[in-house]
Amino acid sequence: MQDFWANPDFYFILLSICGSLSLLVTSLIIFRFLAITVSIGYLVVIFWVGLDKVGMIAQLGTSVLGISLNALMIAKYFYARSMASLEYTWRSVYVENFSLMLPFEFNKLVKYGQVRRMAFDSKDDILVDLNQDFRSLYYLLDGSALVSVKGDDVATLYQGDWIAEESFLTGEASKDTVKVSSGTLLEWTSHDLELLKRKHPGIHEKLKLIISRNVCHKLMRAYQDEQRILHEKA
């Protein structure tokens, strides 16, 4: 019995079984941690047996390579989910309005869009016109926009607000006019959003959820403004 526990073949077989069972794990990150653990076990047995034995150097190389590759992929996994993966200029934008997404998802979303800077002296530029079919979705990075219905100004949009979001959510034509005289926008065309939906449906769904939440905030803000105006008139 003592010879059995002292036999390296027993531990090699045991580690091989553990490695095979780890394939049943559905979580990739847990699988990589298990793979590293098994590889470390192989290293312990290899140095116990001695590198002078046949095949031990090859087994050593395989174990070190497995540990290195899995450690690299684990590091990439956690880096993609950390704030460090975001460019500094995008971190505040992410924290304020996109935290429902993971950082790497937000990075992908930004890559599908393009930054658009509006500067037209003192002349207002119509970004979205009344009864216009959906063309682009906009996120206001800075500046402001004026919303009007049939010539009457009804609301002002600020940093962190969306433009043409209702048309994006419903697929219907715009019910108002939006003018931006100056500011910076993040724009996704309908084509960009279609590609995003096809290649990254999870990110597309999270985007809709984020926008729906913003619409609720807008309605609440409009209600509060209306109540304040009524109170001032009373």
* pLDDT tens figures, 132-177: 889 999 999 998 888 887 777 777 888 888 998 989 988 888 888 8
Tell whether 76 and 163 lie within a shared domain. no
Q: Say yes or no: 92 and 205 in one domain.
A: yes
| Cα 139 from Cα 161, distance rounded (Å) | 6
pLDDT computed for residue 226 by the predictor: 67
- Is 189 found in the same domain as 128? yes
Same domain, 198 and 106: yes
Q: Which amino acid is at 175?
A: K
CB 70 within 8 A of CB 36: yes
Q: What does the pLDDT read at residue 229?
A: 66
Mean pLDDT score, 195-204: 95
Residue 1 has pLDDT above 70, yes or no: no
Question: Which of the listed residues 48, 80, 112 is the one where a domain comes to its end?
Answer: 80
More confident residue, 33 or 224: 33
Q: Return the pLDDT at 141.
A: 92
Regarding whether 167 and 70 lie in a shared domain, the answer is: no
Going by pLDDT thresholds of 50, 70 and 90, the confidence category of residue 233 is low
CATH of the domain at 184: 2.60.120.10
Asked if residue 206 and residue 132 are part of one domain, the reply reads: yes
**Do 76 and 104 reside in the same domain of the chain?**
no
DSSP string, 24-87: G---HHHHHHHHHHHHHHHHHHHHHH-TTSTTHHHHHHHHHHHHHHHHHHHHHHHHHTSGGGS-
For residues 105 and 215, state if they share a domain: yes
pLDDT attached to residue 51 = 85
Name, in order, each residue with C-beta under 8 angstroms of 14's C-beta and a sequence gap of 6 or more.
none
61 and 113 inside one domain: no
Domain check: are 66 and 105 in the same one?
no
pLDDT in tens, 79-128: 988 998 898 889 999 998 898 999 999 999 999 999 988 765 544 578 88
Residue 218 structural domain:
87-233
Higher pLDDT, 149 or 201: 201
Of 188 and 122, the one with more pLDDT: 188
Last residue of a domain, one of 62, 80, 98: 80
Q: Is residue 2 pLDDT above 70, yes or no?
A: no
Residue 68: pLDDT band by 50, 70, 90 thresholds? very high
Q: Which of 80, 105, 122 marks a domain boundary?
A: 80
Q: How many domains does the chain have?
A: 2
Residues 116 and 208 both lie in one domain: yes
Domain shared by 133 and 201, yes or no: yes
Mapped onto helix, strand or coil, the DSSP state of residue 93 is helix
- Provide, rounded to the nearest whole percent, the portion of the chain with pLDDT above 70: 91
